[in-house]
Amino acid sequence: ERLDREIAEVLGLTERREKDSELFKVFSEVFDKTTVETITYFYRRGKIERLYGVLSTGKEANVFAGYDSNGNKIAVKIYRTYTTEFRRIWEYLAADPRIGSLPRDIRKLVFVWTRREYKNLQRALKYAVRAPEPIAFRNNILIMEFIGDDLPAPRLKDVEKELEKGDFEELYDFAMRSIEKLWKRGDMVHGDLSEYNILIWHEPVIIDWSQATVKRNRMSLTLLYRDIRNITNYFARKGVDVEDPEVKFRELAGD
């Protein structure tokens, strides 16, 4: 029927007939009714023309490479509507003052989570912290700017062997300035900042904003401390003369 045909189109299966392709296998994992309907919704509006590659498979989401009807490359993060991470998601959302009452339905909770990541991306960019441009969200799907050209930009972790002390120093400054800007200007904290969530492109870009939250959140100081610790620990190991994390934390948390 129509839906099947449109989904086959999005996945390029009409041309390739590769139902055992890697893409199809990964897609099948998150291939529930809501996801199919949501992709079809975006397809009909030209927001997703094609998904052609898998960028990552995670516990709570899979990320695909695709393009829209104008040929612009996009990254499409598809949250699992059934996730084992749902306790964590619930805890994080329950502590966020921006979120009103939480839905009981796990699927709907994931929709709130998806929408929150979209809002976080917007907010980070507003305060000049580099993140992918959010393009659209609906239900469990978030469409954002693709960072990379033919290939996706590598994560800091992937390229660390090729970097020199000077590169690490610059990246440390970037990370620490981002933490400060987010907290002081944006009243916000990323909460999972690490060498895995920084993409190395023309300029570094911070990704994975799902757990990011606002200062008013009762967990925000814990998350701020975690980000400062992760960043100072990592760059200290790379030989950077980092600031004292306790001092940095008190400096930021103290106001």
Q: Any idea which residues carry the catalytic annotation?
A: 192, 208
> Which of the choices Mn ion, ligand ATP, none does residue 66 contact, using the CB cut-off of 5 to 8 A by kind?
none
Positions touching ligand ATP (CB under 6 A) are: 55-56, 58-61, 63, 75, 77, 132, 144-148, 152-153, 155, 197, 207-208, 210
Taking the least distance from each CB to Mn ion, the nearer of 96 and 208 is: 208
Measured from the CB of residue 56, what is the shortest distance to ligand ATP in angstroms?
3
Angle CA 151–153–23, to nearest 5:
50
Which of 54, 32, 188, 197 minimizes the C-alpha distance to 106?
Answer: 32
Residue 86 and residue 140 in contact, taking contact as beta carbons nearer than 8 Å: no
191-222 as b/e: b if 16+ CB within 10 A:
bbbbbebbbbeeebbbbbbbbbbebebebbee
Q: What is the distance, to the nearest Å, from the Cα of residue 87 to the centroid of all Cα atoms in its chain?
A: 19
For ligand ATP, the nearest residue by Cβ is 58
From candidates 49, 117, 208, 227, binder to Mn ion by CB under 5 A: 208
Query: With CB under 5 A as the contact rule, which of the stretches 65-73, 205-213, 215-223, 232-240 interacts with Mn ion?
Result: 205-213
Residue 235 and residue 168 in contact, taking contact as beta carbons nearer than 8 Å: yes
Backbone angles phi and psi of 150, in degrees to 5: -70, -45
> Which of the choices Mn ion, ligand ATP, none does residue 21 contact, using the CB cut-off of 5 to 8 A by kind?
none
Measured from the CB of residue 101, what is the shortest distance to ligand ATP in angstroms?
25
How far is residue 238's CA from residue 215's CA, in Å, rounded to a whole number? 30
Angle CA 113–116–120, to nearest 5:
140
Measured from the CB of residue 155, what is the shortest distance to ligand ATP in angstroms?
5
> Which of the choices Mn ion, ligand ATP, none does residue 144 contact, using the CB cut-off of 5 to 8 A by kind?
ligand ATP
Indicate whether 68 belongs to the interface with Mn ion (CB under 5 A).
Answer: no
Taking the least distance from each CB to Mn ion, the nearer of 40 and 194 is: 194
* Number of helices (H), then strands (E), in the chain: 10, 9
Measured from the CB of residue 241, what is the shortest distance to ligand ATP in angstroms?
28
Taking the least distance from each CB to ligand ATP, the nearer of 124 and 153 is: 153
Measured from the CB of residue 102, what is the shortest distance to ligand ATP in angstroms?
20
> Which of the choices Mn ion, ligand ATP, none does residue 26 contact, using the CB cut-off of 5 to 8 A by kind?
none
CA distances from 232 to 53, 97, 100, 175 (A): 34, 29, 34, 9
Residue ranges that bind Mn ion, judged by CB under 5 A: 197, 208
